Structure formats: structure tokens, C-alpha cells
Amino acid sequence: MSEPGGPDVLVEREVDDPTPAAGEVLIEVAAAGVNRADVGQRQGSYPPPHGAPAWPGLEASGIIVRVGHGVAGWAIGDRVCALLPGGGYASLAVARANQLLPVPEHINLVDAAGLPEAVATVWSNVFLLGALRAGETLLVHGGSSGVGTMAVQLGRAFGCRVAVTAGSRAKLAACERLGADILTDYTQEDFVAAIAAATDGAGADMILDSIGGAYLDRNVNALARHGRIVLIGNQSGEPGAFAIGRLMSKWGSIAATTLRARPESEKDEIIASVRENVWPLVDARQVVPVIDTRFALSDARLAHERLESSAHIGKLLLLP
């Protein structure tokens, strides 16, 4: 991207091959995942962290082709997917060894690029921070999104009741196939009423929200006693207000996080926890990448246009 702007500023360029430093590996990229943060980076509102490549890409899959000093447990030829600070939209990408995950034989190496961001986001926010437990009700806004399709699968796999909002019947049907129990088309119905009706008025124990300000008050209304709201985005762009007394009376809590900007050591810990707790479910085929469209890397512009249209269900991938 030579300048901030619309999808047209994404053009393919030759750059020097990156070199893995100590603790890093070089990956020959099979595919890179496309994320909302990439759109912010393209528009100039979400610059890459210090030291990250200037081109976007927060996750990728591929084969290890070089191993830096001090890396243990990984070798040239390993099939991996990885969380990246940037630089995934490329044929070669450097990743921290501590942020690699092995790709099981039954998962297509390309499709594995759709796993790291969504799995790390859902695991760190819903399970580590939100402490979701079996038997609880999880509400996921934007259930058909990349993050949403993962939240539905993990909520279901850990024995929870999963509620989703989405903007069309086709998106809700996709969520239902993944295991969602309570389906709300937010263009037609109020999710607060839908959650109340489905839970005998108890509400949702945990709400994963990327809509932000515009949903804050209604999220508090939809929350159960001891409920937790975790904010991971503010797609509405609004500041938000809520009835503090109502949150107090529910002994509720609201937390908010980002993933890319966390210190690398925290991301290492999240990936280690993902490997221990989520990867057995991936190995057992209980959790799968949900892929909407695979684009050529040279068509990154088209992938961004599709993401911004919100027509997709699941993840968009770029293949160099």
C-alpha cells in the first residue's frame, strides 16, 4: 500500500525476502487470512506495530523453509499456521516460533490460514477472560463472521448454549449448522427480547461483541446475573452508554481487548493455551476453519471489497 485508501491501493510488489531472527521461522505461505484490522491498516487508521512489516496480514499458513537460532520443536518442512504481527499478504512470512500451531493432516494447508486469529481471539476473550463454562449461554454478535463462526463452534464444543445475531436468514442458517441454538436476525428482531424468551428471562452469561457503542445498553439488558461482556470491536463507531445500576444489580462486568497490539509474550501465552485446550478439538475435527472465499493474492482488492460488503460467511483467504 503506497498510501492509505480504498481497496485499489492494494497492489502486488517485489520486496526483499524476510529473514528469521532468533526464535523465529520463515514460512512459505500457502494462504493468508483477511481480517477487519487489515481494512483499518489499509485506510491508515490502524498502523502496524513497531518492527512489523508494512504490508498487512495477521495470520498465515504454510511450510517452514528456514528456522532461526534457538528454535526448538519445529523443523523445515513442518505444516504450520501462525499468528503474525503483520506481513502475511506475501509468499514468505516470518513468524515467532511461539506463535506457530501445527496443521493436522486432515486440514487443507490453505484453509488452515483461517484458524489462528479467530481461534486466538475467541479462546482469549471468551474462555480465558470471560471464563465461559459448560452449561452457560454464550451470545455472539455477528455469528457468521470469521470470529463468530469460531465462537459458535467452540461454545458448542465446550458444552454451552450458543445464541447468535446476524443480518440474514442464510447467515443464521450457517450458524445453526455450526451448532448455534438461538438465532436472531438483528434486522428483524430485538436480540434482548430473543435472549430473554430463550432463557426464561435469565439472559446470556457471556456476550462476545464487536458492534460496541450502539449495542452496549442492550448488551447489559441481555446479560444474566454474574454475566460478562467482552468487547472486541466497535463496528458501530459510537461511544455508547449504559445503565450502570442495571449492570451493578446483575453483578456484571465489561472488559475490552485487542489482540495484535498485545505484547508478544502475551500472544505466546495465548497460543500455548490454544494449543493445549483448543487444538485437541481441531485434531478431533470438532472445530474446523469456515472458509467463504479463496482469492489469489493479486486479487487482495477483491477480498477487501467482499469483507467490507459483509456478504461473506466465515473467513476470506489470499493465496500467493
Ligand X SMILES: NC(=O)c1ccc[n+]([C@@H]2O[C@H](COP(=O)([O-])OP(=O)(O)OC[C@H]3O[C@@H](n4cnc5c(N)ncnc54)[C@H](OP(=O)(O)O)[C@@H]3O)[C@@H](O)[C@H]2O)c1
Sites of contact with ligand X (CB under 6 A): 35-37, 117, 121, 141-142, 144-148, 165-167, 171, 186, 210-211, 232-233, 235, 257-259, 307, 310
Nearer to ligand X, 177 or 225 (CB): 177
**Least Å from the CB of residue 290 to ligand X:** 10
Nearer to ligand X, 98 or 145 (CB): 145
Nearer to ligand X, 158 or 186 (CB): 186
**Least Å from the CB of residue 22 to ligand X:** 27
Nearer to ligand X, 40 or 102 (CB): 40
**Least Å from the CB of residue 180 to ligand X:** 13
Nearer to ligand X, 67 or 302 (CB): 302
**Least Å from the CB of residue 218 to ligand X:** 10
What is the SS3 string spanning the chain?
Answer: CCCCCCHHHCCCCCCCCCCCCCCEEEEEEEEEEECHHHHHHHHCCCCCCCCCCCCCCCEEEEEEEEECCCCCCCCCCCEEEEECCCCCCCCEEEEEHHHEEECCCCCCCCHHHHCHHHHHHHHHHHHHHCCCCCCCEEEEECCCCHHHHHHHHHHHHCCCEEEEEECCHHHHHHHHHHCCCEEEECCCCCHHHHHHHHCCCCCEEEEEECCHHHHHHHHHHHEEEEEEEEECCCCCCCCCCCCHHHHHHCCCEEEECCCCCCCHHHHHHHHHHHHHHCHHHHHCCCCCCCEEEEEEHHHHHHHHHHHHHCCCCCEEEEEC
**Least Å from the CB of residue 55 to ligand X:** 18
**Least Å from the CB of residue 104 to ligand X:** 23
Nearer to ligand X, 39 or 63 (CB): 39
**Least Å from the CB of residue 189 to ligand X:** 12
Nearer to ligand X, 121 or 221 (CB): 121
Torsion sign, CA atoms 300, 302, 308, 312: negative
The x, y and z cell numbers of residue 199, run together, are 432463557
